């Protein structure tokens, strides 16, 4: 079997562009017993596709499919031994994850119907011109991309996963450290586990990690393990093959759809134990076997996990596999609670105010010193999500709820010197975040060390 590798991307000029940019990302297997025809097809395809391999018979073709994933298989129908369509029908039962384009010299109705039943995606008559075959492959690739995009969009819409979008804001030490770790681990494909209380930004951090990686232009697929029923989740994740009398069809799982990109398994503690076992194998071997199939598909995928449950306790209680826990806990990033980084409240509130006022088409409400003080005094059990909801609710009501307006019960004074009080709160919070390191706090606040010393002396801090 020969492998022909074209340059990663074909320049967007000349004839190559006529078939769409997606063609340059395609992997194609050519199955034909005639060396002349194989060479002809490879010569046409290799300069325009990412990877082209060839097989001289169905045995070689099966071996090629076992070893790697192909987007398209160009299949000669008449070969000694087994016909292309017979082989295709068999392969569907084992697990066939490509589009098949059938090449045949006999265009009778019977063959066409048979091809349709066997699930061939297209049909090209011999003799053909190079454009015809390139068009057929490009059409297949386009259709696959659209199907995948459509599936993932539907999934995203149905899972209400829209809220964890946007930029990871904050200049507190907690968030700055996390941003630094994310940038450091983004280029690697190691699994990352985000822990932390509800609403602390685990999903937004996971999306940031994906966006910083070289997978950024590939799918980020979030799956909320708590939202899918335990009976359905294995099919949903790994896909399955279903057989009827005529042929075997397949439903690709989210892992397969996410290939090349990142899979975000949220609330991972909720996964049923049998699915945990399968997942462990997938992470270790980076291959998946859809349910009901005997062929595995190689998988290029980064895994990110999140939970606000105590996984160690779940392991103790026997509801979470210990081996899986160790496998996913390579790098654990704990998202700090909002009370631990009060210095970020101002930035976050201002961002939510801007965002929701634009979305709702209403004027933003002023975030007065009194309000900011109140926000800083509250302990935010729902963390950033609670802050976000408060701002959204305020814009709907047209005012900030009274409990966040009157600063009476706040431990910080809000009298004539309230601006100083806000300043004091901010500086002390930053100092806190820097473990009392004044030089570091001065650097972050963009003021001189002397200013901090002077203020602290004034406040007796």
Ligand X SMILES: Nc1ncnc2c1ncn2[C@@H]1O[C@H](COP(=O)(O)OP(=O)(O)OP(=O)(O)O)[C@@H](O)[C@H]1O
Contacts to ligand X by CB under 6 A: 163-164, 166, 168-170, 175, 196, 198-204, 308, 335, 348, 384-385, 388
Q: How are strands ordered across the β-sheet holding 262-266?
A: 220-224, 262-266, 302-307, 192-195, 332-334
Residues ≥6 apart with Cβ < 8 Å to 240:
250, 251, 253, 290, 291, 292, 293
Only one of the segments 26-34, 150-158, 165-173, 203-211 lies at the binding site for Mg ion (rule: CB under 5 A); that segment is 203-211
Could you give the CA distance from residue 374 to residue 392 in angstroms, rounded to a whole number?
17
By CB under 5 A, tell whether 270 contacts Mg ion.
Answer: no
Only one of the segments 7-15, 201-209, 342-350, 364-372 lies at the binding site for Mg ion (rule: CB under 5 A); that segment is 201-209
Shortest Cβ distance from residue 303 to ligand X (Å)? 16
Could you give the CA distance from residue 439 to residue 446 in angstroms, rounded to a whole number?
10
Shortest Cβ distance from residue 308 to ligand X (Å)? 4
Shortest Cβ distance from residue 363 to ligand X (Å)? 22
User: Which residue from 137, 136, 76 is spatially nearest to 106, judged by alpha carbons?
Assistant: 76
Using the minimum distance from each CB to ligand X, give the nearer residue, 293 or 349: 349
Phi and psi, residue 142, nearest 5° = -60, -45
Give the DSSP per-residue string, 38-92: HHHHHHHHTTTSSEEEEESSHHHHHHHHHHS--SEEEEES--SSS-HHHHHHHHH
Could you give the CA distance from residue 45 to residue 243 in angstroms, rounded to a whole number?
33
Shortest Cβ distance from residue 313 to ligand X (Å)? 16
By CB under 5 A, tell whether 203 contacts Mg ion.
Answer: yes
Using the minimum distance from each CB to ligand X, give the nearer residue, 166 or 292: 166
Residue 198 interaction partner, one of ligand X, Mg ion, none, beta carbon < 5-8 Å per kind: ligand X
Residues ≥6 apart with Cβ < 8 Å to 244:
none
By CB under 5 A, tell whether 197 contacts Mg ion.
Answer: no
Only one of the segments 195-203, 246-254, 373-381, 433-441 lies at the binding site for Mg ion (rule: CB under 5 A); that segment is 195-203
User: Which residue from 64, 14, 19, 63 is spatially nearest to 45, judged by alpha carbons?
Assistant: 19
By CB under 5 A, tell whether 236 contacts Mg ion.
Answer: no
Residue 169 interaction partner, one of ligand X, Mg ion, none, beta carbon < 5-8 Å per kind: ligand X
Shortest Cβ distance from residue 156 to ligand X (Å)? 14
Strand partners, 123: 102
73 in Cβ contact with 28 (< 8 Å): yes
Only one of the segments 81-89, 141-149, 198-206, 409-417 lies at the binding site for Mg ion (rule: CB under 5 A); that segment is 198-206
Using the minimum distance from each CB to ligand X, give the nearer residue, 207 or 257: 207
Shortest Cβ distance from residue 237 to ligand X (Å)? 19
- Which residues contact Mg ion (rule: CB under 5 A)? 203
């Amino acid at each position: 079997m020969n492998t022909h590798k074209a340059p990663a991307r074909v320049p967007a000029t000349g004839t190559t562009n006529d078939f769409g940019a997606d063609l340059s990302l395609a992997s194609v297997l050519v199955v034909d017993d005639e060396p002349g025809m194989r060479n002809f097809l490879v010569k046409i395809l290799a300069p325009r596709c990412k990877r082209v391999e060839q097989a001289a018979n169905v045995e070689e073709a099966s071996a090629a499919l076992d070893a790697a994933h192909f987007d398209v298989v160009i299949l000669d129908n008449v070969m000694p031994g087994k016909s292309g369509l017979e082989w295709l029908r068999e392969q569907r039962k084992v697990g066939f994850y490509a589009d098949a384009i059938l090449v045949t010299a006999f265009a009778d109705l019977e063959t066409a119907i048979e091809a349709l039943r066997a699930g061939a995606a297209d049909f090209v008559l011999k003799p053909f011109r190079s454009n015809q075959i390139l068009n057929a492959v490009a059409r297949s690739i386009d259709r696959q991309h659209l199907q995948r995009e459509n599936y993932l969009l539907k999934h995203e819409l149905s899972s209400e996963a829209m809220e964890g979008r946007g930029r990871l804001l904050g200049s507190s030490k907690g968030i700055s450290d996390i941003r630094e770790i994310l940038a450091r681990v983004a280029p690697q494909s190691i699994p990352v586990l985000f822990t932390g209380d509800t609403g602390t930004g685990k999903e937004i951090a996971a999306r940031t990690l994906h966006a910083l990686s070289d997978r950024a232009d590939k799918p980020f697929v979030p799956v909320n393990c708590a939202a899918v029923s335990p009976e359905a989740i294995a099919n949903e994740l790994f896909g399955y093959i279903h057989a009827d009398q005529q042929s075997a069809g397949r439903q690709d799982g989210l892992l397969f759809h996410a290939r090349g990109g990142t899979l975000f398994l949220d609330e991972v503690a909720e996964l049923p134990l049998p699915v945990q076992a399968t997942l462990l194998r997938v992470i270790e071997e980076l291959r998946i076997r859809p349910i009901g199939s005997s062929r595995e598909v190689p998988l290029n995928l980064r895994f990110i996990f999140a939970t606000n449950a105590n996984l160690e306790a779940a392991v103790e209680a026997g509801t979470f596999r210990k081996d899986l826990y160790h496998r996913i806990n390579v790098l654990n990033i704990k998202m700090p609670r909002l009370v631990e980084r009060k210095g970020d409240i101002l930035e976050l509130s201002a961002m939510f105010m801007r965002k929701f006022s634009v979305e709702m088409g209403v004027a933003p409400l002023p975030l007065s010193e009194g309000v900011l003080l109140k926000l800083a005094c509250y302990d935010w059990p729902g963390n950033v999500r609670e802050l976000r909801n408060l701002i959204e609710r305020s814009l709907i009501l047209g005012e900030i709820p009274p409990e966040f307006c009157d600063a009476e019960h706040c431990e910080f004074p809000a009298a004539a010197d309230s601006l100083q009080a806000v300043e004091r709160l901010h500086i002390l919070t930053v100092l806190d975040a820097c473990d009392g390191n004044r030089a570091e706090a001065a650097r972050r606040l963009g003021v001189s060390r002397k200013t901090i010393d002077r203020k602290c002396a004034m406040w007796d801090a």
